[in-house]
């Protein structure tokens, strides 16, 4: 078996893995990034709704099982840059309260082992790295912050009108922070496809374009593509990780390093740890507490299509508006709460992919006549919500979201707000775990090794040379998009690794 060596092995080239690499490049350490996928091909299908949604061209062909044993193809995308190749570019900081303990409908959302202030400088760095555009001072829930690195993307007319209608209801809409190279001199072509599509112009602030590509020019950073980590191997007493077993284009390799950073995404990182069970760690690595794979969260996400039968919505880039007036609860129902933000344009082919019986002309008509909004609420961690590795190696996802009743009440309220804003019909569509886009929580961090897998710097309590740095570390999900928080904590962890290497 061929053996590769490096000083630091990073598994996964998504937000988490690339941010750690960014901090370590230039430290003298030889960094090897192992990525299961390849570069996404640049092709017309990148922005073709029929190819992306109808034919599911880019989604993994792997299947997972529901608890009932039904196989499904999850919305997992294995490419260099990870899920950010398809993400919607909303780059929010979590609120100060998101790091604190809270209760919703009687269920508990635990405190993080870090506070907003610990992440604040790294949030600022992540925003610079990803080129985030926004306007400080308008979002009523905004934590203390400095101005955004770039000015906010202006609203197009339909979104400006919606903003005005919300303001007329006494609400405080604001410019959504977004990582798109938009504006004078920018590369965004306003092609009309962004959220859930690949950008053909390099304008989307994704992990490959903004973080990894510049690093690959560095002599100490090496990327191995089509290199899937099968398991990690610990030494005899199960303390130190000594190697990763990797399948690279059909061949199995051993990769050795003194330090490992696992950033394969919340679900896959948990699976790799579970698959790495050995005599000294029979329940999987980093899993003395038994939490690995548990507390799987994904947000309560409801898409709302606000129909205006009398006007065509010709907006090219709608993701410029968000609303946090109900982030801490409705006036008469504090548990019903969350964020509201624009979705990318929903097209007929996307509607038909979810509802195949919709006649094409109707789907296309809806695609032209709706303004599309996402209502997002916190998914409360539940010990029984989990991803499991079955004895035969198959993967079962037993997802049990927490706080669904409160989210439904929140969505009812949001629909009423949209109706008052001039949309007589507001259709709803819930996104489930089949699209695990905001997956998190499966390798949670915490101060107590009995109830968490990682410490506050994402180091495994059980293994001094293993860090897990992706959505898996979240102890709770907040009600805002996860990518900027993953990036900020990964930059924090990377800075720590660099400092400790130097001493």
Ligand X SMILES: Cc1cc2nc3c(=O)[nH]c(=O)nc-3n(C[C@H](O)[C@H](O)[C@H](O)COP(=O)(O)OP(=O)(O)OC[C@H]3O[C@@H](n4cnc5c(N)ncnc54)[C@H](O)[C@@H]3O)c2cc1C
Site for ligand X, rule CB under 6 A: 11-16, 34-37, 75, 78, 82-84, 86-90, 196, 228-229, 263-265, 268, 272, 437-438, 470-471, 481-484, 486
Secondary structure of 11-56 in the HEC alphabet? ECCCHHHHHHHHHHCCCCCCEEEECCCECCCCCHHHHCHHHHHHCC
Shortest Å distance, C-beta 169 to ligand X: 25
Nearer to ligand X, 197 or 423 (CB): 197
Q: State how far the Cα of 493 lies from the Cα of 261, in Å rounded to an integer.
A: 10
Q: Which of 32, 406 has the CB closer to ligand X?
A: 32
Residue among 90 and 243 whose Cβ is closer to ligand X = 90
Q: Which parts of 203-276 are beta strand (E)?
A: 221-224, 227-234, 241-248, 251-256, 259-262
- Rounded Cα distance, 470 and 21, in Å: 13
> What is the smallest separation between the CB atom of 425 and ligand X, expressed in angstroms?
25
| Nearer of residues 381 and 471 to ligand X, judged by Cβ | 471
Distance CA 107, CA 462 (A): 29
| Cα gap 310→325, rounded to integer Å | 29
CA–CA separation, 95 and 105 (whole Å): 20
Closest approach, Cβ 293 to ligand X, in A, equals 14
Q: Closer to ligand X at the Cβ: 78 or 369? A: 78
Packing angle of the helix pair 483-502, 15-24 (nearest 10 deg): 30
Torsion sign across C-alpha atoms 105, 433, 123, 345: negative
Query: Shortest approach of ligand X to residue 450 CB, angstroms?
Result: 25
For the bound state, the minimum distance from the C-beta of residue 502 to ligand X, rounded and expressed in Å, comes to 25
Nearer to ligand X, 308 or 324 (CB): 324
Nearer to ligand X, 306 or 480 (CB): 480
Give least dist CB 208 to ligand X, A.
9
Minimum distance between the CB of residue 296 and ligand X, rounded to whole angstroms?
13
Nearest to 424 by CA among 307, 304, 302: 307
Position closest to ligand X via CB: 14
What span, in angstroms and rounded, lies between the C-alpha atoms of 8 and 144? 34
> Who contacts 142 (Cβ-Cβ below 8 Å, separation ≥6)?
93, 95, 136
HSE-CB for 195 with a 13 A CA cutoff: 23
Pair type for strands 466-468 and 259-262: parallel
Give helix 483-502 / helix 116-130 axis angle, nearest 10°: 100
Spatial separation of the C-alpha atoms in residues 200 and 204, rounded to whole Å:
9
User: Strand 31-34 and strand 221-224: pairing?
Assistant: parallel
For the bound state, the minimum distance from the C-beta of residue 298 to ligand X, rounded and expressed in Å, comes to 10
Please, what is the minimum distance in Å from the beta carbon of residue 246 to ligand X? 7
> Within a 13 Å sphere around the CA of 265, how many CA atoms are in the beta-carbon half?
25
Nearer to ligand X, 322 or 385 (CB): 322
Cβ closest to ligand X, residue 380 vs residue 490: 490
Of residues 15 and 353, the one with the C-beta less far from ligand X: 15
Identify which of residues 231 and 413 has a Cβ nearer to ligand X in the complex: 231
Tokens standing for residue 308: 């205006």
Rounded to a whole number of angstroms, the minimum distance from the CB of residue 485 to ligand X is: 8
Report CA Rg, the chain: 22
Minimum separation from the CB atom of position 67 to ligand X (A): 23
In 43-143, the DSSP E strands lie at: 64-65, 71-72, 102-104, 107-109
Smallest gap from Cβ 82 to ligand X, in A, equals 2
Whether residue 434 contacts residue 75, with contact meaning beta carbons closer than 8 Å, is answered with yes
Nearest to 417 by CA among 344, 350, 321: 321
Kindly tell me which of 12 and 348 has the beta carbon lying closer to ligand X. Answer: 12
Residue 270's SS3 state is: helix
């Amino acid at each position: 078996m061929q053996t590769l060596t490096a000083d630091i092995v990073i598994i996964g080239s998504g937000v988490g893995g690339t941010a750690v690499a960014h901090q370590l490049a230039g430290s003298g350490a030889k960094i090897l990034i192992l990525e299961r996928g390849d570069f996404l091909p640049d092709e017309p299908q990148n922005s073709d709704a029929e190819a992306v949604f109808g034919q599911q061209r880019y989604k993994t062909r792997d299947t997972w099982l529901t608890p009932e044993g039904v196989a499904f193809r999850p919305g997992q995308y294995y490419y260099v840059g990870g899920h950010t190749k398809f993400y919607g570019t909303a780059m929010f900081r979590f609120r100060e309260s998101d790091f604190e303990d809270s209760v919703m409908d009687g269920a508990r959302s635990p405190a993080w082992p870090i506070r907003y202030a610990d992440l604040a400088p790294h949030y600022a760095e992540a925003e610079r790295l990803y080129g985030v555009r926004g306007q400080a001072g308008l979002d009523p829930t905004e934590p203390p912050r400095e101005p955004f690195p770039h000015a906010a993307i202006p609203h197009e007319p339909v979104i400006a009108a919606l903003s005005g209608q919300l303001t007329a209801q006494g609400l405080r809409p604001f410019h959504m922070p977004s990582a798109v190279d938009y504006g004078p001199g920018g590369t965004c072509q306003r092609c009309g496809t962004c959220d859930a599509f690949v950008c053909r112009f390099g304008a989307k602030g994704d992990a490959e374009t903004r973080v990894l590509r510049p690093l690959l020019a560095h002599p100490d950073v090496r990327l191995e593509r089509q290199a899937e980590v099968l398991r990690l191997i610990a030494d005899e007493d199960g303390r130190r990780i000594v190697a990763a077993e990797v399948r690279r284009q059909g061949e199995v390799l051993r990769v050795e390093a003194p330090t490992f950073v696992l950033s394969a995404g919340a679900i896959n990182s948990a699976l790799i740890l579970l698959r790495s069970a050995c005599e000294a760690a029979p329940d999987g690595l980093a899993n003395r507490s038994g939490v690995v794979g548990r507390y799987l969260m994904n947000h309560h996400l409801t898409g709302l299509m606000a129909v205006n039968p009398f006007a065509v919505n010709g907006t090219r880039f709608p993701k410029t508006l968000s609303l946090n007036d109900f982030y801490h609860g409705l006036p008469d129902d504090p548990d019903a709460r969350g964020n509201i933000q624009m979705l990318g344009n929903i097209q007929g082919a996307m509607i038909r992919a979810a509802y195949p019986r919709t006649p094409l002309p109707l789907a296309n008509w809806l695609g032209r006549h709706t303004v599309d909004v996402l209502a997002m609420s916190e998914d409360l961690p539940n010990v029984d919500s989990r991803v499991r590795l079955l004895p035969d190696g198959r993967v079962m996802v037993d997802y049990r979201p927490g706080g669904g009743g409160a989210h439904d009440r929140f969505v009812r309220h949001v629909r009423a707000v949209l109706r008052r804003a001039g949309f007589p019909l507001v259709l709803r569509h819930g996104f489930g775990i089949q699209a695990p886009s905001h997956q998190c929580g499966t390798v949670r961090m915490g101060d107590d090794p009995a109830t968490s897998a990682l410490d506050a710097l994402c180091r495994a309590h059980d293994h001094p040379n293993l860090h897990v740095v992706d959505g898996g570390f979240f102890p709770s999900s907040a009600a805002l998009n996860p990518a900027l928080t993953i990036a900020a904590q990964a930059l924090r962890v990377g800075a720590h690794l660099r400092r400790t290497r130097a001493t």
